[in-house]
Amino acid sequence: MHSDIQVVIIDDDAEITEALTEMLELDDFSVQAFAQPEKALASLHADSPVVVLSDVRMPRLNGLDLLARLQQLDSTIPVLLMSGHGDIPMAIEAMKEGAYDFLEKPLQPEHLLSRLHRAIDKRRLVLENRSLKQNLEARCGLEATIIGESAAIKGIRQQVLALAQANVDTVIYGDTGSGKDVVARALHQCSARRDKRFVAINCGGMSESLIESELFGHEAGSFTGASKRHIGKIEVANGGTLFLDEIESMPLSLQIKLLRVLQERSIERVGSSTPIPVSLTVLAASKDNLAQLGEEGRFRKDLYYRLSVASLSSLAYTHLTLPTTPHPE
């Protein structure tokens, strides 16, 4: 059964549309026929669950013009064009312009049915993926976090969704104020770790000893003033996401310890030799090119490669806004 995806037949020859409709309905296809392509276009929208089977030679609006209009409406709608003129140059042009297939009249039933089955499967998959993506966006509030309908904003949302599902350590690049923290929170909120903690720490403006204690924690008595045990940010983020802002400012000595965490997924508190397993996604933000800093000896290359499983840039996205719901730190 193919009742979820409809075959839209467009042909100004009534005998052909009647014959095609009867043949396809006997094979359990859902069919709607139009003699005028303008009326067919008026019945469709971007998410229409359809494939289009259209004649090429029609008055007012020919098949190639129809294809162009459908491409503007939704470029993923499979369009199969038919011609009784054996027009090979037109077939080549149609395929270049995005037609799914080109069929020559008189149509061979087995060939037609095979092509329609494949086109329907493709359309169904596209719509299912689109629906899943839209549901995920709604569930994680992505459109409320990264606001806008420009190509750039849609691009960052698509990247966030893909990377959030991949659940990989990621570097986010961008100037100060470009929304790196917003992207980081969105990556967490759309990931499988969304129910766990999002823990952020700014690596800039801290002394080496302070940032080490903040990241790794310490045992009581491990240094002067350490009167009690302190749980570090990495341990607190266990199960969730750790966001390291201004990672380029992290001292080289601590970069070695962070590299070990990423490699072994365990930590040792300052003053302890007992490993503590951690499972987390690490997001790092930088205003500088870490690869270039690595070449200059100002950032460890091995840490860069370990962190940069994926990367994205917030430089082009100027309409980012912080989420309205609080996030645990």
Q: pLDDT class for 297, splitting at 50, 70, 90?
A: very high
Do residues 89 and 199 both lie within one domain? Answer: no
Do residues 173 and 283 both lie within one domain? Answer: yes
DSSP 3-state percent helix, strand, coil across the chain (nearest 5): 45, 20, 40
Mean pLDDT of 154-168: 86
Across the chain, what does the average pLDDT equal?
Answer: 87
Q: Is residue 321 part of a domain?
A: no
Q: Domain residues for 39?
A: 6-134
Q: Is residue 70 part of a domain?
A: yes
Q: What is the pLDDT of residue 36?
A: 92
Q: Is residue 327 part of a domain?
A: no
Q: At what angle do helices 151-166 and 109-140 cross, to 10 degrees?
A: 90
| DSSP state for residue 239 in the 8-state scheme | T
- Examine the fold and report which residue of 110, 134, 158 is the final residue of a domain before the chain moves on: 134
Output the domain CATH number for residue 90.
3.40.50.2300
Do residues 239 and 116 both lie within one domain? Answer: no
Provide φ and ψ at 107, rounded to 5°.
-70, 140
For the chain, what percent of residues have pLDDT higher than 70? 91
Do residues 108 and 150 both lie within one domain? Answer: no
Q: Is pLDDT of 39 > 50? A: yes
Do residues 67 and 98 both lie within one domain? Answer: yes
Give Cβ neighbours of residue 6 (< 8 Å, ≥ 6 apart).
30, 31, 32, 49, 50, 51
Do residues 102 and 171 both lie within one domain? Answer: no
Q: pLDDT class for 138, splitting at 50, 70, 90?
A: low
Q: Is residue 11 part of a domain?
A: yes
Provide the token pair at 180: 């790196």
Do residues 127 and 163 both lie within one domain? Answer: no
Q: Is pLDDT of 76 > 60? A: yes
92-116 per-position pLDDT tens digit: 888 888 999 999 888 899 999 999 9
Q: pLDDT class for 85, splitting at 50, 70, 90?
A: low
- Examine the fold and report which residue of 108, 134, 160 is the final residue of a domain before the chain moves on: 134
Give Cβ neighbours of residue 214 (< 8 Å, ≥ 6 apart).
201, 206, 232, 233
Mean pLDDT of 285-304: 94
Q: pLDDT class for 318, splitting at 50, 70, 90?
A: very low
Which of 239-260 are b and which e, b meaning 16 or more Cβ less than 10 Å from the residue's Cβ? Answer: ebbbbbbbbbbbeeebbebbbb
Output the domain CATH number for residue 214.
3.40.50.300
Q: Is residue 78 part of a domain?
A: yes
Do residues 199 and 247 both lie within one domain? Answer: yes
Do residues 153 and 281 both lie within one domain? Answer: yes
User: Which amino acid belongs to residue 113?
Assistant: L
- Examine the fold and report which residue of 83, 107, 134 is the final residue of a domain before the chain moves on: 134
Do residues 127 and 150 both lie within one domain? Answer: no
Asked if 16 and 55 count as a contact pair (C-beta separation under 8 A), the reply is: yes
Q: Is residue 322 part of a domain?
A: no
| DSSP state for residue 211 in the 8-state scheme | H
Higher pLDDT, 154 or 281: 281
Q: pLDDT class for 139, splitting at 50, 70, 90?
A: low
Q: What is the pLDDT of residue 161?
A: 85
Mean pLDDT of 260-275: 90
Q: Is pLDDT of 327 > 50? A: no
Do residues 160 and 299 both lie within one domain? Answer: yes
Q: Is residue 229 part of a domain?
A: yes
Do residues 168 and 90 both lie within one domain? Answer: no
For the chain, what percent of residues have pLDDT higher than 90? 55
Q: What is the pLDDT of residue 324?
A: 36
pTM: 0.60
Q: pLDDT class for 164, splitting at 50, 70, 90?
A: confident
Q: What is the pLDDT of residue 228?
A: 84
Q: Is residue 323 part of a domain?
A: no
Mean pLDDT of 117-126: 94
Q: pLDDT class for 328, splitting at 50, 70, 90?
A: very low
Total domains present in the chain: 2
